Chains A and B, each alone.
Chain A
Amino acid sequence: MIVATRRRTRRGAVAAALIGALVLSQVVYGSPTSAQADEPLPSGTEASTPNLDLVVNVPRQGVNDGVFQSDLAFYGDLAIQGTYGGLNFYDIKHPQKTTLVGQFACPGGQGDPSVSPDGSLVFMSVDAARTDDSCQSSGTSTANPDGWEGIRIVDISDPTNAQQVATVRTDCGSHTHTLVPGATDDVVYLYISSYGPNAAFPNCQPPHDAISIVEVPIDDPASASVVNKAVLFPDGGAISRTAGCHDITVYPELDLAAGACMGEGVLMDISDPVAPYVITSVTDTNFAFWHSATFSNDATKVVFTDELGGGGGATCNEAVGPERGANAIFTIVGEGDDRTLEFQSYFKIPRHQANTENCVAHNGSIVPSNDRDLMVQSWYQGGVLVMDFTDPANPFEIAWFDRGALDPPALGGSWSAYWYNGYIYSSDITLGLDVLRLTGTEGVSSANRVKQDHFNAQTQYRLKD
């Protein structure tokens, strides 16, 4: 894996050490005013609005030191962090004393995790071809017909001794996946989002208009299997070359799902969880890479994101502007299969970032306020931001936390930032796990009273205090 410090220049290393010593404790408190919107933070500094505090940072370490940290899931007092090398487990019983309690070494790309509602199993996406499905495998070419990609199933009953107990191969691998509860507690389904079919890739042949649906019996994960390849775009979708989905978020109480698929955002009916179908879809000339979808708490709105530049690009600047690499907020209008998505507005981080900072809309979750629509979200090196979209036509920023550009320059920043039981957890690609607290903000007290026993960002429930 590429590492920020691997080829640090001699001059850069000395400078970084000096600067680091000088500014180690410098915290610049700012307010989200337009006056500072075009001045990126200096490297080595961090800043936030007064209502968003960094409680603690747990640095990247152990077997997952030197690899990128990615997405998060939660069960009880356990935070589960995916990495490009496996998993990290943190005890968050006392969030201000968050502690790494276990690690699992098992490489395979981003390692997008979800946790079963009973906390016994973690599912992990593998979207980089491996020589086999074991944790001892090594990378291989996408052209290798024997290469393996798909879903790992990991027993985390003892987080200090996690064990892979099963794997399921899926077409085009698994870039992300979405846990969908079954009719009973002993079964869950995984919607596998994968994309990028090509004639040269034996395990990812076009057309790829389907999502694989994996059924997992919780008590017998070894018998997990693909039970359907649901073709979402029988007519080829909004464009003829549909190529799968990047991410899907489900809202089981309403049998609804929102999908960020290639070239379009879709709304789906999942009343039969193994046979979802598309109700409506939207395209947008400003959007090319539909990345993810988040429902408002009452599922009347959907926030789609455009990951312009794939997460590696510097899009938070004047040249790219406020409507690209942004959120697009839609309302859901109508009933049943006549529902449509109506565009309301774009929202993008208003503070410009340095051009060595990868920055674009990324993963987030609802802050479950009773009376406001709030969403906390990662913007990579743009930091963590809380957006108010109560009025979907006029969203605005109410809180943020940011660090200056990594020095030496590197891919980094917040991958995912989620609200869980009164705190915001941000998985930082190179800096580990940040725990943040939102205070002094109207509507947050009701959110603080919401308690969840587990959390998967792509499986949304209406949250109430």
Chain B
Amino acid sequence: MRFDKRFRRASVVVVVLSAVAVAAVASAGPPPDKGGGKKPKDPTTTTITANTTTTVASPPDGSYNDADADFVAMMIPHHFQATVMSDLAPGRAGDATVLALAERIGVEQEVEIGMMQNWQTWNGLEVTDAEAAYEMMLQMPMMVEQMGMATPEELDALTGASGTGFDRQYLQLMIDHHEGALTMLTDVLVHGSDTTLEFWATDMLTAQGVQIDQMEAMIAELG
């Protein structure tokens, strides 16, 4: 993948995505009927201009930095695409194992969206609206490619597929998606400073690495 730290520093992108942040204060969690970060029913959209991450004069050991904040703002919409793709599996997937994995990935990424949104709340940052940021991201082909995300055309093809055809497309797209995530995760582990976020990133790195292997094995079995 070509995603690297230059991309993380693309502060223009982050500012653009910040514009779709939800002005959540005390209730940043996802809506009560969802475990993860599907778009709240009636989000209040605000325009964010100032960087709200640098108000602490002398950050305590283990607190977050800009790399952490940028990572979370980008990873939320990245995760959202995984939930979109996984939501397509019921009724389309041909293989029960693929369906089970898709359900697990969908739930996991949705939970993690909520977790990252909570992290933003805990740190007094603006909360990223997952769906709005994702829609915006889809309009940026270079970013889609750098982050290993599926293009709108690939999503259309996936939506129209079924059976083994769906399974193969889903697995390949999700492998690419996860590979993009691994690059982002490695980057925040190198450049970030928030102890809690680093643990989560290590867990995501591990879980998604495991899933890539599982998906490669599934593709091999599909023949």
Q: Which residues of A contact B (CB under 8 A)?
A: 1-4, 6-7, 9, 11-12, 15, 66-68, 84, 107, 109-110, 127-128, 138-139, 141-143, 195-196, 198, 200-201, 239-241, 243, 262-263, 285-286, 288-289, 307-315, 317-321, 324-325, 354-356, 358, 407-411
Q: Would A313 and B114 be within 8 Å (CB), given that A1-B195, A308-B107 are in contact?
A: yes
CB of B205, distance to nearest CB on chain A (Å): 5
Is B110 interfacial (CB-CB < 8 Å)?
yes
The CA-CA distance from A310 to B16 in the complex, in Å, is 29
Q: Determine the chain B residues whose CB is within 8 A of the CB of A411 once the complex forms.
A: 118-119, 122, 196
Q: Cβ of A6 and Cβ of B124 under 8 Å apart? A: yes
Cα(A110)–Cα(B202), bound, Å: 14
A315 and B37 alpha carbons, distance in the complex (Å): 12
Q: Is residue B39 contacting chain A, with contact meaning CB distance below 8 A?
A: no
A407 to B123, CA, bound (A): 13
B181 in the interface (beta carbon within 8 A): no
Q: Which residues of B contact A139 (CB under 8 A)?
A: 61-62, 193, 195
Chain A: interface secondary structure? Answer: loop
Report 19 cross-chain contacts, Cβ distance below 8 Å, ordered by A residue. A1-B62, A2-B64, A68-B196, A107-B62, A138-B61, A139-B195, A141-B190, A141-B191, A142-B190, A241-B213, A243-B206, A285-B101, A310-B115, A311-B200, A314-B30, A354-B29, A408-B121, A408-B122, A411-B118
Sorted nearest first, the 10 A-B pairs with minimum C-beta distance are: A7-B124, A355-B29, A319-B35, A313-B111, A310-B203, A263-B210, A196-B202, A320-B35, A313-B115, A285-B100
Interface residues of B (CB under 8 A from A): 25-36, 55-56, 60-64, 97, 100-101, 104, 107-108, 110-112, 114-115, 118-119, 121-124, 186, 189-191, 193-196, 198-200, 202-207, 209-214, 216-217
CB-based nearest A residue for B204: A310
Q: Which residue of B lies closest to A262 (CB)?
A: B206
**What chain A residues lie within 8 Å of B36 (beta carbons)?**
319
* CB-based contact A110/B199 at 8 Å: yes
For B104, give its contact among A12, A107, A288, A410 (CB under 8 Å): A288
A contact residues around B123 at 8 Å (CB): 2, 6-7
Task: Name the residue of chain B whose CB is nearest to the CB of A143.
Answer: B190
Known A285-B100, A286-B104; judge A358-B124 contact (CB<8 A).
no
A4 to B122, CA, bound (A): 6
The answer to whether A1 and B27 have CB atoms under 8 Å apart is no
Indicate if the CB atoms of B195 and A109 lie closer than 8 Å: yes
Q: How far is the CB of A284 from chain B (nearest CB, A)?
A: 9
User: How long is the Cα–Cα vector from A143 to B189 in the complex, in angstroms?
Assistant: 8
Query: Which chain A positions have C-beta within 8 A of B214?
Result: 239, 263
Question: How far does the Cβ of B34 sit from chain A's closest Cβ, in whole Å?
Answer: 5
Distance in angstroms between the alpha carbons of A185 and B107 in the assembled complex: 47
**Known interface pairs A239-B214, A356-B27. Does A313 touch B112 (Cβ–Cβ under 8 Å)?**
yes
Q: Which of A11, A68, A324 has the most CB of B within 10 A?
A: A324
Residues of the A chain whose Cβ atoms lie less than 8 Å from the Cβ of B110: 319
Q: How far is the CA of A138 from the CA of B204 in the complex (A)?
A: 25
Contact B189 A314 (CB under 8 A): no
A196: B residues at CB distance < 8 A: 189, 202-203, 205-206
Q: Which residues of B contact A319 (CB under 8 A)?
A: 33-36, 107, 110
**Which residues of chain B come closer than 8 Å to A200, judged between CB atoms?**
186, 189-190
CB pair B62–A309 under 8 Å, yes or no, is no
Pick from B108, B121, B206, B213: contact of A240, CB under 8 Å: B213
**Which residues of the other chain, A, contact B216 by a CB distance below 8 angstroms?**
240
* In the complex, chain B residues whose CB is within 8 Å of the CB of A195: 202, 206
A11 to B124, CA, bound (A): 13
Interchain CA distance A112-B213 in the complex, whole Å: 30
Q: Nearest-CB distance from B65 to chain A (Å)?
A: 10
CA distance A315 to B107 in the complex (A): 9
Taking a contact as CB atoms closer than 8 A, the residue among B29, B115, B122, B209 that contacts A241 in the complex is B209
Selected from B25, B100, B118, the residue in CB contact (under 8 A) with A358 is B118
Beta-carbon contact of B111 and A309 below 8 Å: yes
Q: Which residue of B lies closest to A43 (CB)?
A: B26
Which residues of chain A are within 8 angstroms of B114 by Cβ–Cβ distance?
Answer: 309, 313-314, 355
Contact of A312 (CB < 8 Å), options: B26, B55, B196 = B196
Q: Are B115 and A358 closer than 8 Å at their CB atoms? A: yes
Q: Which residue of A lies closest to B30 (CB)?
A: A355
Q: Which A residues lie within 8 Å of B217 (CB)?
A: 239-240
Query: Residues of A contacting B195 with CB < 8 Å?
Result: 1, 84, 109, 128, 139
B5 shortest CB reach to chain A, Å: 11
For B34, the chain A residues whose CB sits under 8 A away are: 319, 355
| Assembly CA distance A350 to B20 (angstroms) | 35
Chain A residues near B31 (CB-CB < 8 A): 355
Q: How far is the CA of A113 from the CA of B26 in the complex (A)?
A: 34
CA distance A325 to B35 in the complex (A): 12
Task: Report B-chain residues with C-beta under 8 Å of the C-beta of A138.
Answer: 61
B62 and A285 form a contact (CB under 8 A): no
Across the interface, do A198 and B189 meet the contact criterion of CB distance under 8 Å?
Answer: yes
Nearest chain B CB to A244 CB, angstrom units = 8
With both chains docked as a complex, state the minimum distance between the C-beta of B52 and any C-beta of chain A, in angstroms.
9
Cα separation A239 to B211 with both chains bound (whole Å): 9
Chain B residues with CB below 8 A from A308, complex form: 107-108, 111
Q: Which residues of A contact B196 (CB under 8 A)?
A: 2, 68, 312, 411
Which residue of B has the minimal Cβ distance to A3? B60
Would A9 and B194 be within 8 Å (CB), given that A262-B210, A309-B112 are in contact? no
Min Cβ gap A198→B in Å is 5
Which residues of chain B are near A288, meaning CB under 8 Å?
104, 108, 207, 210-211
A67 cross-chain contacts in B, Cβ below 8 A: 62
